[in-house]
Amino acid sequence: MIRSILLLKFTPEATEAQIDAFATALSQVPFERRRHFEFHRDARLTDDAMDAAVIADFDDEEAYRAWLDDPGHHKVRSEFLDPIRKQRERLLFRI
Q: Is-contact 80 22, C-beta < 8 A?
A: yes
Closest CA to 49 of 20, 87, 15: 87
Q: What is the pLDDT of residues 24-69, one digit of tens each?
A: 999 999 999 999 999 999 999 999 999 999 999 999 999 999 999 9
**Which percentage of the chain shows pLDDT scores above 70?**
100
What's the CATH code of the domain at 8? 3.30.70.100
- What are the beta bridge partners of residue 91? 5
In the prediction, which pLDDT does 63 show?
A: 98
* Dist CA 44 CA 25 (whole Å): 24
In which band, very low, low, confident or very high, does the pLDDT at 6 lie, cut at 50, 70 and 90? very high
Give residue 45's pLDDT: 98
* Percent of the chain with pLDDT strictly greater than 90: 100
Tally of domains in the chain: 1
Structural domain span for residue 81: 2-42+50-94
